[in-house]
Amino acid sequence: MKTNHVLLIDDNEIDNFISNHVIQKTKIAEKITVKGSAVEALEYLEAVKDDSDAFPDLIFLDIAMPIMDGFGFLEEIGKFPKPQEKKCVVVMLSSSNNRNDIARAMDFDVVIDFFTKPLRIEMVEDLVQRKKV
């Protein structure tokens, strides 16, 4: 199974590099976009919200970021038009394995899974096998 467009959101360049590499190796995405902050990602999504081909199908989202954290991003993306929200799903990709963070993230309808960094090939393959993406 392939997704059209994956968006990586993380303020850590090394984590983005690793995640980008893993996604490329699994070949699940035709396009990968990387944003270094939740604010930058929301600006990007706002710019492409009316273009269903440019809007990502899958977002890997970090929690701990300056200015706006992943939870703030999730609240904001919930304000996007419903067709885009339904098309796009989020996988939390965080260094946190705190049960409260996991439970809080999974309370958002758009979140389909929670992974602890770093992203690994088997994580992506598991998503595909479970047909979540």
Contact 6, 60 (CB under 8 A): yes
Kindly report the average pLDDT of the chain as a whole number: 91
CA 92/CA 90 separation, integer angstroms: 6
Q: How do residues 11-54 score in pLDDT, each as one tens digit?
A: 999 999 999 999 999 999 999 999 999 999 999 999 998 887 78
The reported pLDDT for the residue numbered 129 is 84
Question: What's this model's pTM, rounded to 2 decimal places?
Answer: 0.93
User: Is CATH 3.40.50.2300 correct for 3-127?
Assistant: yes
Q: How many CB atoms lie within 10 A of CB 76?
A: 16
The reported pLDDT for the residue numbered 88 is 87
Q: Does 7 have pLDDT greater than 90? A: yes
CA 95/CA 117 separation, integer angstroms: 5
Annotated domain spans of the chain? 3-127
Q: How do residues 73-97 score in pLDDT, each as one tens digit?
A: 999 998 877 655 557 899 999 998 8
- Residue 9 CB partners (closer than 8 Å, separation 6+): 35, 37, 38, 41, 59, 60, 61, 62, 65, 70, 73
Q: How do residues 110-132 score in pLDDT, each as one tens digit?
A: 999 999 999 999 999 998 887 66
